A and B are shown apart, each in its own frame.
Chain A
Amino acid sequence: MTARIGVVTFPGSLDDRDAARAVKIAGAEPVSLWHGEPDLHGVDAVVLPGGFSYGDYLRCGAIARFAPVMGTIVKAATDDGLPVLGICNGFQILCESHLLPGALTRNQHLHFRNRDQKLRISSADTAWTSAYEKDQEILIPVKNGEGCYVADEKTLDGLESSGRVIARYVGGNPNGSLRDIAGITNAAGNVVGLMPHPEHAVEELTGPSVDGLGFFTSVLQKLVTT
């Protein structure tokens, strides 16, 4: 049976279509989920896409966190190990939901940064990164205005010592994120937040590479083996 991966659309989501397309190219069935409905329609995993949910009002992801669909996702991710990938705005929503520690703040240089970005995968032990090798370098687009990852020193040390930093910026930090952190995971490894956009790097025609596909094939592999 084909794995079914939900992609949530919030008011202001931008990359839900690209995320659904990446899911399809990876070989799974994308299922559209609506922010206002708590029902996950039995999906096996969820992607929170990039964009500007609720216009980024108050703080990025702060209002989306309280959407009805998020209540179900937070519970399923915590209690049942539902794999959840938050990309860009999705990462912000995961931090606001306290599924992931720390927060994403205004880029240190205050500019919106949009470019192809090299990353180094620092953990291949999560539901969303198992298709990569540790220390593998990948090239995928980054595009954010508030992508500066911050957390207190204790949290940062804890993330690093437990292998929960999953990707770091290489060849220039686009937003001032502490310790060049581009993505992190929770303790169980089922929830991953990533600031750059793997869903924009899944086809030769439109992406700088197809390096992003691994995030989506990783979760498929996990769903097949469990």
Chain B
Amino acid sequence: MARVVVDVMLKPEILDPQGQAIANALPTLGFSAITAVRQGKRFEVEVDGEITDEVLAEVTRAAGTLLSNPVIEDFAVRAEGDEPAEVDVPAVAVVTAPATDADAADVKAAAAESSTAEKSDADGPA
């Protein structure tokens, strides 16, 4: 089984009020470098067997028929693992975001909690 990813975005000329609301909220959280946000959808489509050109063509048809509305949205189809051509962001960008220290501590604590929880579940009566 293989996976194909379909990214759907509103066309650039279509107003994205949700993205704007997110962009407006970010500065209040200290993310002052972010100037605009556009929100889209990502579909993970599972297919049997290898990802062939035929499979990609079929997913592309599905994306144009149902997953996106071509009147207001664009889409891009790719096999999972293939980086989308237009995205060129170094992974370290995430680490440079402000308030990361506090978040990292929270994440670690949460991870510790969940691993404890999993363990106690596993140890529980069958």
- Mark A residues whose CB is within 8 Å of B: 58-59, 62-63, 66, 95-96, 101-103, 105-110, 148, 150-152, 176
Contacts and interface: CB of A to CB of B under 8 A. Distances in A.
B32 interface: no
Nearest to B11: A152
A150 B14 CA distance: 8
A95 B67 contact: no
A151 B71 contact: yes
B29 interface: no
Contacts of A103: 69, 71-72
B13 interface: yes
A58 B17 contact: no
Given A58-B66, A62-B66, A66-B66, A95 B17 contact: no
Nearest to A101: B71
Contacts of A176: 15, 17
Contacts of B71: 95, 101-103, 151
Main secondary structure of the interface of A (DSSP, over half): loop
B18 interface: yes
A107 B71 CA distance: 17
Nearest to A178: B15
Interface in B1-51: 10, 13-15, 17-18, 21
B69 A96 contact: yes
A59 B69 contact: yes
A109 B69 contact: no
Contacts of A152: 13
Contacts of A150: 14-15, 72
Contacts of A95: 71
A95 B17 CA distance: 20
Contacts of B14: 105, 150
A150 B16 CA distance: 11
A19 B118 CA distance: 52
Contact of A107 (B17, B66, B67): B17
A151 B21 CA distance: 22
A148 B14 CA distance: 11
Contacts of B67: 58
A102 B66 CA distance: 16
Contacts of B21: 110
Nearest to A98: B71
Given A66-B66, A96-B69, A108 B15 contact: yes
B69 A110 contact: no
